[in-house]
Amino acid sequence: MNEPPTISTIIAEAGGPSSIERLAIASNAKISRDAVYKWAKTGIPDRHWSIILALTAYGADDLYRANCAARRKGEVVDQTILPESAQ
């Protein structure tokens, strides 16, 4: 199986946070640029997938796999930041 695209790659191919925000506003959705920047760690919320799908050639499976990878990566980063006594 191919590696999933990263959330950062998906955002870049969608035209960046500003493009995502513009389409969201045009679609009466509420997505700020600041929220888009957080997606790299938290994944793209399901409710915003339609905007990303409209801006990219990625499918829902790609977004799902990228979200899973971003969330797994976040868990590993969180564990390495904590001191051993806190784990």
Q: DSSP of 66-79, one letter per residue?
A: HHHHHHHHHHHHHH
In a domain, 57, yes or no: yes
pLDDT at 77: 40
pLDDT tens digits in sequence order for the chain, 87 residues long: 578 899 999 999 999 999 999 999 999 999 999 999 999 989 999 999 999 999 999 999 999 999 999 988 865 444 444 344 444
Closest to 51 measured CA to CA, from 27, 67, 68: 27
In a domain, 45, yes or no: yes
In a domain, 62, yes or no: yes
Record the tokens describing residue 64, joined without a space.
């799902």
> Which structural domain range is residue 26 located in?
7-86
Count structural domains, the chain: 1
In a domain, 2, yes or no: no
In a domain, 1, yes or no: no
Q: DSSP of 1-65, one letter per residue?
A: -PPPPPHHHHHHHTT-HHHHHHHHHHTT----HHHHHHHHHH---GGGHHHHHHHSS--HHHHHH
